[in-house]
């Protein structure tokens, strides 16, 4: 018993980061498609890929910015045709989440990426939803879905997508905004977000990843979001920092994504610690783990080591993830208590 306590007392911040329960709130499920699964699904569905092998595909993962990634990400998603494909993709992610002590997760999905290829909305949502139910039942991981609108498409397209998804309203908790940020500010989607708010949906939007702080203000003031995805541009705007510290509007930060898409040049320069120091409700997430070099624990461990985060800071990140999650008070209390126990060990 004593030996156990002693060994746990010496756990480094990075080891603690691996061990504690946490929530993942920024994961594009299409970005969890590993090259091996892309090739397996291509074979199953008779889809011809523009890459000769898993290795050739992986070798193409050298991104210079968000758009260079998105082009490959949308090509990878072209193998998803049947309900079982969406189920298998999500299930593979849930198994990895479980291994990283992720106890709750909120998955983004991009219906327009699939419906424009002729895949019915029902196929997408039912496949993902079934995997979410199994994640809870078989792995004990609670999972919610967030439907994202592609911001490079029109607002009318987003409205049509929302209408097509409404028969499956009980399967998703909220809506988000993703894809190419620059040139597609949040204000472009004010009407569709107002409609979603009336419907009682939770609202999130990518802002301040490559775009300016002004896009974050628009997400807050015009879209009235409950969380901002990325948001690292807030460092450029002291007023925005003060607002975020005051309201504790959560930011779902993705350190390895920022590194791979050249938002930061070195993980040691990542603003996450400055955001924590300023009292913001920041969380750590993987974004597109199959493309950016790691799932939750890889993000936690590499960031903890690069920024020299303390045990307390690591615990704060996990606590923030439960504070920011779209879960009811009872579930939040259970998860906070589990975290407290793991942190005290
Ligand atoms: O990091 C991202 N940013 C914007 N859109 C996305 N779609 C998948 N990943 C991303
Ligand atoms: Zn994202």
Residue 34 annotated among the catalytic residues of the structure: no
Ligand 2: centre distance to CA 55 (Å): 25
Q: Whose CA is nearest to atom 6 of ligand 1?
A: 179
Q: How many angstroms separate the alpha carbon of residue 28 from the centre of ligand 2?
A: 6
Identify the residue whose tokens are 């541009």: 233
Q: What is the pLDDT of residue 245?
A: 98
Q: Is residue 9 part of a domain?
A: no
Q: Beta partners for 287?
A: 27
Task: Supply the range of the domain harboring residue 199.
Answer: 30-344
pLDDT-above-90 percentage for the chain: 97
Query: What integer best gives the mean pLDDT of the chain?
Result: 97
Query: Residue 308 domain-assigned?
Result: yes
207, 228 Cβ separation under 8 angstroms: yes
**How confident is the model at residue 221, as a pLDDT?**
98
Does 187 fall in a domain? Answer: yes
Question: Which ligand number lies closest to the CA of residue 229?
Answer: 2
CA distances from 343 to 33, 136, 295, 296, 321 (A): 32, 24, 21, 18, 15
Please give the average per-residue pLDDT across 175-188, as a whole number: 98
In CATH, what number is assigned to the domain containing residue 152?
3.20.20.140
What confidence score (pLDDT) does residue 1 get? 41
Statement: residue 339 has pLDDT above 90: yes
Kindly state the average pLDDT of the residues 126-133: 99
Neighbour-count burial of 140, counting CB atoms closer than 10 A to its CB (0-12 exposed, 13-18 middle, 19+ buried): exposed
> Would you say residue 327 lies in a domain?
yes
Identify whether the C-beta of residue 21 lies closer than 8 Å to the C-beta of residue 103: yes
> Which residues 6+ apart lie within 8 Å of 268 measured at CB?
306, 307
Is residue 2 over pLDDT 50?
A: no
Mutate to test the pocket of ligand 1, among 24, 26, 33, 69 (most ligand atoms within 8 A of CB): 69
Nearest ligand to the C-alpha atom of residue 292: 1
- Give yes or no for residue 3 having a pLDDT over 70: no
Q: Is residue 4 part of a domain?
A: no
| Ligand 1, CB within 6 Å, residue ranges | 28, 31, 66, 73, 178-179, 206, 209, 257, 287-288
Residue range 262-291: average pLDDT?
Answer: 98
Distance CA 25, CA 97 (A): 12
Give the mean model confidence (pLDDT) for residues 47-51: 94
In 10 A of CB 134, how many CB atoms?
16
- Domain membership of residue 2 (yes or no) is no
Q: Render pLDDT for 281-316 as a digit per residue (tens, 0 to 9).
A: 999 999 999 999 999 999 999 999 999 999 999 999
User: Ligand 1 pocket test: which of 89, 112, 178, 260 has the largest number of ligand atoms within 8 Å of its C-beta?
Assistant: 178
Q: Whose CA is closest to 124, among 167, 186, 80?
A: 80
Range in 2-6, 103-107, 124-128, 219-223 with the lowest mean pLDDT: 2-6
Locate all alpha helices (DSSP H) within the chain, ordered by sequence. 2-9, 13-19, 35-45, 54-59, 66-76, 83-99, 111-115, 121-134, 155-165, 190-198, 213-218, 238-247, 255-260, 272-277, 289-292, 296-307, 311-324, 329-344
User: How many A from CA of 152 to the centre of ligand 1?
Assistant: 12
Residue of 30, 83, 209, 210 with catalytic role: 209
**Looking at the domain assignment, is residue 252 inside a domain?**
yes
Nearest residue CA, atom 10 of ligand 1? 179
Other C-beta atoms within 10 Å of 156: how many?
10
Q: Pick from 141, 54, 70: which is nearest to 110 by CA?
A: 70
Extract the tokens encoding 261: 């898409």
Instruction: Tell which one of 63, 64, 65, 66 to mutate to probe ligand 1, the residue whose CB is within 8 A of the most ligand atoms.
Output: 66
Ligand 1 centroid distance, CA of 254 (Å): 10
Rounded to the nearest 5°, which phi and psi values hold at 143? -145, 135
Quick one: average pLDDT of 107-118?
98
List of residues 6+ apart from 279 with CB closer than 8 A: 245, 248
Residues above pLDDT 70, as percent of the chain: 97
- Compute, in angstroms, the gap from residue 135 CA to the centroid of ligand 1: 24
pLDDT at 10: 78
Domain count across the chain: 1
> Is 28 annotated as ligand-binding?
yes
61 neighbors 292 (Cβ within 8 angstroms): no
Residue 26 in marked binding region: yes
Give the 3-state secondary structure of residue 142. Answer: strand
> pTM for the whole thing?
0.97
Mean pLDDT (whole number) for 227-256: 98
Bridge partners of 284, per DSSP, are: 253
State the pLDDT confidence band at 345, using cuts at 50, 70 and 90.
confident
- Residue 192: pLDDT band with limits 50, 70, 90: very high
- The pLDDT score that the predictor gives to residue 9 is 61
In a domain? residue 8:
no
């Amino acid at each position: 018993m004593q030996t156990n306590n002693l060994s746990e007392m010496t756990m480094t911040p990075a080891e603690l980061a691996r061990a504690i329960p946490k929530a993942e709130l920024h994961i594009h499920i299409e970005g969890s498609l590993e090259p091996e699964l892309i090739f397996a699904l291509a074979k199953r569905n008779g889809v011809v890929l523009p890459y000769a092998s898993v290795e050739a595909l992986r070798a193409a993962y050298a991104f210079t910015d968000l758009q260079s990634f998105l082009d490959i990400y949308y090509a990878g998603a072209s193998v998803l045709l049947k309900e079982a494909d969406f189920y298998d993709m999500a299930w593979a992610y849930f198994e990895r989440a479980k291994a990283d002590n992720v106890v709750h997760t909120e998955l983004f999905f991009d219906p327009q990426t699939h419906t424009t290829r002729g895949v019915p909305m029902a196929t997408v949502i039912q496949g993902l939803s079934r995997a979410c139910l199994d994640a809870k039942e078989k792995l004990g991981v609670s999972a919610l879905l967030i439907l994202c609108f592609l911001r490079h498409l029109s607002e009318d397209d987003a409205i049509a997508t929302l209408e097509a998804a409404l028969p499956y309203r009980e399967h998703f908790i909220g809506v988000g905004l993703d894809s190419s940020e620059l040139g597609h500010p949040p204000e472009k989607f004010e009407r569709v977000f107002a409609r979603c708010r009336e419907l009682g949906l939770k609202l999130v939007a990518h802002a301040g990843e490559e775009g300016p702080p002004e896009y974050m203000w628009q997400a807050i003031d015009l879209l009235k979001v409950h969380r901002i995805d990325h948001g690292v541009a807030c460092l450029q705007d002291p007023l925005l920092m003060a607002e975020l510290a005051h309201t504790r509007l959560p930011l779902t930060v993705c350190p390895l994504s920022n590194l791979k898409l050249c938002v930061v040049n070195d993980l040691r320069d990542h603003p996450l610690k400055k955001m924590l120091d300023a009292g913001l409700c920041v969380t750590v997430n993987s974004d597109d783990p199959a493309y950016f070099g790691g799932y939750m624990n890889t993000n936690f461990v590499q960031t903890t080591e690069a920024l020299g985060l303390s045990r307390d800071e690591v615990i704060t990140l996990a606590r923030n993830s439960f504070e920011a999650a779209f879960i009811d008070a009872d579930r939040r209390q259970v998860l906070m208590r589990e975290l407290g126990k793991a942190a005290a060990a």
